[in-house]
Amino acid sequence: MSDKGAMFVSMEGIGIDGQLLKLNWHLVAAQNHGPYIPCGASIALAKKLARGDKLPYGAMPCMGLLTVEDYLSALKDFDICELPA
């Protein structure tokens, strides 16, 4: 058993220039903080609402509601860090 967890995201497709594009993003957690990784988006959205930020409403894709910085800021109190991919 380990106290470490991680999330690895890989995307592949065609970029706006028509060329193949591959993106990778890695998070690593220690001290059993891995289960908080999926909660980051909910925490970030709740903080935006608590600040009174205006968010769109209704059914829609969630694209563009959060930045990577919003997400990572929501996890700053946990032992979770972004790694170079």
In a domain, 33, yes or no: yes
Give how many domains the chain has, as a whole number: 1
How many of the other CB atoms lie within 10 Å of CB of 78? Answer: 19
Which residue range(s) make up the domain with 46? 5-54+63-80
Higher pLDDT, 24 or 57: 24
In a domain, 85, yes or no: no
Under 8 Å CB-to-CB from 6, ≥6 apart: which residues? Answer: 26, 27, 28, 29, 34, 37
Which range (20-24, 35-39, 81-85) has the least confidence? 81-85
In a domain, 18, yes or no: yes
pTM of the model: 0.77
pLDDT tens readout for residues 3-25: 999 999 999 999 999 999 999 99
